[in-house]
């Protein structure tokens, strides 16, 4: 049985979520047969880099595109020809995927250089997809550079990395570069709802929202987590997600923020104690609380940020943040929130290495709320 993230992997450029500009550029290149000889896709994990690389491979070698001029102007693969099917199934002889994390040496790149001289076995192009390319050694990069400088006409390279800053400038300058953005929360939630409906998975909306939030912008992580939880629960509820991943939902974080803004020390400590007793990850809870408070503070000083926060929060969550932002009525309230965030950040650092995880967080709350 296929994992959900593989089963629902995009088969067309139009299916790629959250990367509209990249999709448009690649589609236009496909329409005019102007695919570049080397691409560099960079950005956070799960944002669609490898999936898009495979779509480039499908488009380049799609047999219907080569024969049907009317179809070519769609800028998409047909998904029906031999080449498209073999690429989808991972058995295309002319699509070579290399994981640089485990094949990072000079020998692997030398083998690539030898293999690239040979014409494609069955297709128009030989496509080399090198994932986590930043992990190649210095010598391997130098060997790859020679190939990128004078690539054969039948070769296309797609390099993918999560760490752009580690890429040599000499390699970067010989590629077309595309930055993949972290996916907005709303887009991930929409996809999870689509998958749940297709797979007949019973899931509460707030449960899917927590799964999406836990993925931190990675659609693949969200789909994998949904798959994991569905294997354990007949119906996915917020409580079951919280228990499985050890992370509290937005509501509990917002309730804590409310108590902090109301300076209710006793209830704030009780709320924290209850979360701790239920076995949730307090380090992650503090991290979520810091992000919540910084949104509240930022929105107080710049209402224009509301449009950005809409990408990270659903409407009900955004309204909660706005409500708390309006509670900061005076400069003293604003400064108090700044001090609280600083204390929580210090507590976060200490919590990660402390055998008494709850203590730094409790102390931070007491210091900022005591009368």
Spatial distance between the Cα atoms of 270 and 296, rounded to a whole number of angstroms: 23
pLDDT reported for residue 113: 81
pLDDT reported for residue 1: 64
What are the tokens at 264?
């209710």
Q: What is the mean pLDDT of residues 2-23?
A: 90
Spatial distance between the Cα atoms of 323 and 325, rounded to a whole number of angstroms: 5
| pLDDT above 70: percentage of residues in the chain | 99
> What does the pLDDT look like over 42-101, one tens digit per residue?
999 989 999 999 999 999 999 999 999 899 999 999 999 999 999 999 899 999 999 888
Pairing of strands 155-161, 95-99: unpaired
> What does the pLDDT look like over 34-53, one tens digit per residue?
999 999 999 999 899 999 99
Please, which pLDDT band fits residue 315 given cuts at 50, 70 and 90?
Answer: confident
What's the pTM? 0.81
- Of 201, 207, 151, 211, the C-alpha closest to 175 is 151
What are the tokens at 106?
């000079």
Does residue 215 carry a pLDDT above 80? yes
Mean pLDDT, the chain, rounded, equals 91
- Of 52, 57, 54, the C-alpha closest to 180 is 52
What letters, b where the CB count within 10 A reaches 16 and e where it falls short, cover 80-97?
ebebbebbeeeebebbbb
Burial (CB count <10 Å: 0-12, 13-18, 19+), residue 2: exposed
> What does the pLDDT look like over 158-187, one tens digit per residue?
999 999 999 999 999 999 999 999 888 889
Please name the residue ranges forming H helices in 127-245. 138-149, 169-172, 185-199, 205-214, 219-230, 238-245
Please, which pLDDT band fits residue 371 given cuts at 50, 70 and 90?
Answer: low
Q: Which domains does the chain have, with CATH numbers?
A: 4-179 (3.40.50.300), 186-245 (1.10.8.60), 250-369 (1.20.272.10)
């Amino acid at each position: 049985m296929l994992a959900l993230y593989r089963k629902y992997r995009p088969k067309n450029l139009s299916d790629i979520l959250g990367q509209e500009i990249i999709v448009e550029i690649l589609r236009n290149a496909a329409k005019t047969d102007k695919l570049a000889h080397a691409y560099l896709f960079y950005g956070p994990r799960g944002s669609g880099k490898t999936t898009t690389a495979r779509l480039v491979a499908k488009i380049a070698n799609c047999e219907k595109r080569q024969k049907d001029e009317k179809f070519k102007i769609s800028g998409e693969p047909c998904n029906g020809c031999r080449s498209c099917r073999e690429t989808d199934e991972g058995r295309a002889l002319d699509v070579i995927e290399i994981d640089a994390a485990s094949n990072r040496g000079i020998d692997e790149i030398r083998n690539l250089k030898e293999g690239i001289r040979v014409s494609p076995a069955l297709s128009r192009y030989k496509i080399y997809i090198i994932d986590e390319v930043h992990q190649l050694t210095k010598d391997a990069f130098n060997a790859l550079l020679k190939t990128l400088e004078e690539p054969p006409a039948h070769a296309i390279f797609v390099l993918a990395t999560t760490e752009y800053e580690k890429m040599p400038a000499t390699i970067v300058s010989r590629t077309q570069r595309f930055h993949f953005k972290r996916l907005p929360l709303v887009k991930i939630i929409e996809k999870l709802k689509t998958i749940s409906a297709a797979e007949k998975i019973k899931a509460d909306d707030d449960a899917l929202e927590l799964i999406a939030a836990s993925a931190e912008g990675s659609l693949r992580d969200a789909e994998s987590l949904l798959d994991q939880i569905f294997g354990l629960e007949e119906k996915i509820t917020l409580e079951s997600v919280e228990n499985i991943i050890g992370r509290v939902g937005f509501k509990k974080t917002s309730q804590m923020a409310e108590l902090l803004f109301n300076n209710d020390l006793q209830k704030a400590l009780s709320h924290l104690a209850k979360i701790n007793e239920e076995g949730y990850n307090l380090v992650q809870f503090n991290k979520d609380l810091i992000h919540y408070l910084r949104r509240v503070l930022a929105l107080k000083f710049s209402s224009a940020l509301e449009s950005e926060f809409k990408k990270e929060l659903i409407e009900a969550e955004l309204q909660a943040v706005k409500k708390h932002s309006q509670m900061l009525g005076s400069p003293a309230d604003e400064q108090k929130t700044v001090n609280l965030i600083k204390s929580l950040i210090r507590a976060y650092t200490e919590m990660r290495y402390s055998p008494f995880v709850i203590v730094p967080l409790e102390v931070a709350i007491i210091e900022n709320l005591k009368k």
